[in-house]
Amino acid sequence: MNWRTCLGLGALTLVLMAGCSPAKDTSTTGDSKGTASADGPMIGIVFDRGGLGDKSFNDSAWRGIQRAESELGATSFKVESKEEKDYETNLREMASHDGIDVVFAIGINQQKALEVVAPEFPDVKFAIVDGNVEAPNVRSLLFKEEEGSFLVGYLAGLMTQTGKLGFVGGMDIPLIGKFRYGYAAGAKMANRNVELLPAKYTGNWDNIDLAKQAANILYDGGADIVYHAAGRAGLGVIRAAEEKGKFAIGVDSDQDGEAEGFVLTSMIKRVDEAVFSTIKDVKEGNYSAGAKVYDLAANGVGTSDFTFTKDKIGEENIAKLKEIADMIAKGEIKAPTTANEFNEFVNSLDASN
């Protein structure tokens, strides 16, 4: 038994003991599945509320971990946070494992906790998805959500029959503003006369019923397409769309199969790629702290493949969407991220007509 295996078993013992805590659900992968190697990195991952099974960014992050297990011989230890107060405890627990190479904090909600914990473990590497933590041992994995959202908004503007569109967010915060205003701008570029109904927010990321209620208000108000950026809660938007016979637009992961034919498309955010590439950098000695941004040009964001809606959308609209994607990638279109930028964008459209 080599030293790396010993460390892995020691960490496994710690995780199993911690599983007795009622505040979180802890389990392990890696050695227990025979996917780790003596040279593979040891990874800790702290999921946001909503956890595995959210069909969104938590699941996407986990796909990146699983790929690292398969391709890089990684060993991983995971914990699902039940409450906001669990974040610091869970991050410390992961960072305390002997031989840990990198700890991932999934979601902007963990930013404050990581700002506290990272300085306590200066020799441990960290990465956070969606948050921006300035520390010498933290890599911030950020995305141009507004660019992918512009694309799905443009498609919604082409496809709407009622001329009214809706948006459901998890929280009214700047991050979700990038989704909202990118979507609205794309819709306006495709159809200047489209009406964006007042946005709805669930106030959390995992209450499916609240998101469904919000979507129903928008559908009853005349919207025939509703885009969500609400994590696991957004599955309620998709359920409402199926029941109403309308369209939803998924987010983060490919959610088109959640209600075949009723999810127009999904705005894909490649959290899996960001997680995997970070682990690969750690293994190869190329890890660096600071912000790493994934945009449309780098395939960090985009749309799903329209598996169940391609015939409804039509080749002509798909071709138009590709043209817009090329323009964004080349910097010819700058997607807005705030209300002020959105208003400026709409004014520029008016001026060009």
Write the CATH number for 124.
3.40.50.2300
| Closest to 253 measured CA to CA, from 295, 305, 206 | 305
Same-domain status, 132 and 277: yes
Residue 308 lies in a domain: no
Q: Are residues 29 and 162 in the same domain?
A: no
Instruction: Kindly state the average pLDDT of the residues 257-274.
Output: 96
The rounded mean pLDDT for the chain is 89
Domain count within the chain:
2
Range name among 23-32, 102-111, 207-216, 343-352 with the lowest pLDDT average: 23-32
Block residue for tokens 């960014």? 57
> Which residues constitute the domain of residue 133?
3-143+271-294
| Residue 201, domain member (yes or no) | yes
Residue 97 lies in a domain: yes
pLDDT value at 26 more than 90: no
Burial class (CB in 10 A: 0-12, 13-18, 19+), 197: middle
Residues 204 and 345 in one domain: yes
Same domain, 138 and 264: no
**Residues 200 and 346 both lie in one domain:** yes
Same domain, residue pair 47 and 179: no
* Same domain? 111 vs 226: no
**Residue 300 falls inside a structural domain:** no
In a domain, 217, yes or no: yes
**Local confidence band at 46 (pLDDT 50, 70, 90 cut-offs):** very high
Same domain, 123 and 157: no
Q: Which amino acid is at 149?
A: S
Q: DSSP code of 48?
A: P
pLDDT of the residue at 261: 97
Residue 52 pLDDT class (50, 70, 90 cuts)? confident
Least confident interval from 4-18, 247-261, 264-278: 4-18
pLDDT in the model for residue 119: 98
Average pLDDT over residues 135-144: 97
- Looking at residue 29, its pLDDT comes to 35
Same domain, 229 and 330: yes
pLDDT for position 83 = 86
Q: What is the mean predicted confidence (pLDDT) over 25-33?
A: 34
Q: According to the model, what pLDDT value does residue 4 have?
A: 39
Which residues, including other chains, have CB under 8 Å from residue 319's CB and lie 6 or more apart?
A: none
One domain for residues 9 and 127? yes
Measure the CA–CA gap between 46 and 42, rounded to whole angstroms: 14
Q: How far apart are CA 11 and CA 270, in angstroms?
A: 29
> Residue 252 above 80 pLDDT?
yes
Q: What is the mean pLDDT of residues 127-137?
A: 96
- The pair phi, psi for residue 79, each rounded to 5°, is -145, 135
Mean pLDDT of the region 301-321:
97
Q: If pLDDT is split at 50, 70 and 90, which confidence band does 54 have?
A: confident
Same domain, 222 and 89: no
**Out of 12-21, 75-84, 103-112, 332-341, which region has the weakest mean confidence (pLDDT)?**
12-21
In a domain? residue 279: yes
- pTM, to two decimals: 0.84
Whether 307 is covered by a domain: the verdict is no
In a domain, 309, yes or no: no
Predicted confidence band of residue 9 (pLDDT cuts 50, 70, 90): very low
Q: Are residues 203 and 279 in the same domain?
A: no
